[in-house]
Amino acid sequence: MGRPVVAILGGRGMLGTDLAAACAAKGLTVRTYDLPEFDVTDDRQLREAIGPADAVLNCAAYTNVDGAETEAELAHRVNAEAVGNLGALARQSGKWVLHFSTDFVFDGTLDRPYRESDTPNPLNEYGRSKLAGERYLDESRCAHCIVRLEWTYGAHGKSFVTKLLERARHGEMLTVVDDQIGSPTATTQVAAAACRLVESRVEGLFHLAADGYVTRFGMAGFILDRSGLEAPLHPCRSSDYAAPAVRPLNSRFDCSKIQALLDDPIEPWQGPLERFVRRLCEVSS
């Protein structure tokens, strides 16, 4: 009997790349699908991608939060309709699906960390498209697991971390919001937890983030400190920051539900972020 086959949709993106590496390290046969060769909104391509797979991991998404305000139709086609089609095909073929969603399904008004049972209320088109994708997948009645993520960063794409470091290297003045709070989460952390879910084929909805919380401004200060770069850093309020899409102020997650399934405690955000920043600085020096 051959090794289990996992199809990773969006497998060359920031999360997908680390997820593919983690699955391969676990002895799984990994097949990745991504633009430009693969379009998750194409039913024929989607059917062909999941056909040989034992499990499907969906990292494919429209992720331009501000762009979704003017490209709402495209965002919904990728983040909602394609996910519903994936669910329907998975149900027909008896495949298990792991789908990734976002903290942006919430409005961020709670004064405590968000639990899976809390009622979503997205503030922007990106959040609405991702919430619709969750619901379409649920309605498909396929075997599936949905994992909501927040504040992710990784080596294979642009993120708050990489953009901040790039601007700091150019000596730009950095103005960062100090009223948004959450958990900086490495895609390597997500990939490790996801492998555990693939092994158990668990079903349900889960929140996943690094342990602990920090404001965006506090995160920026941590990054500058660990990088050794000097750049002027100033706080501002979200209301002062001109952006097409409104962001939730509170992105804190209660991760106790998924922690119960993992072999090791979820690592606090400081360790992975420090290692990531130091690696980036070594490469660029």
Which residues are catalytic, by number?
Answer: 126
Report helix angle 82-93 to 43-50, nearest 10.
40
CA distance 172 to 166: 9
Residue 106 parent element (H or E): none
Q: Which of 16, 9, 22, 2 is nearest to 198 (CA)?
A: 22
∠ Cα 247 156 220 (to 5°): 45
Question: What letter represents residue 191's amino acid?
Answer: A
213, 177 Cβ separation under 8 angstroms: no
CA distance 196 to 247: 31
At a CB cut-off of 8 Å and minimum separation 6, what does 243 contact?
Answer: 66
Q: Residue 86's CB: how many other CB atoms inside 10 A?
A: 29
Please return the burial class of 186, using the count of CB atoms within 10 Å of its CB with bins 0-12, 13-18 and 19+: buried
Sign of CA dihedral 11, 262, 83, 109: negative
Q: State the DSSP string of 163-187.
A: HHHHHHHTT--EEEESS-EE--EEH
Three-class SS state of 277:
helix
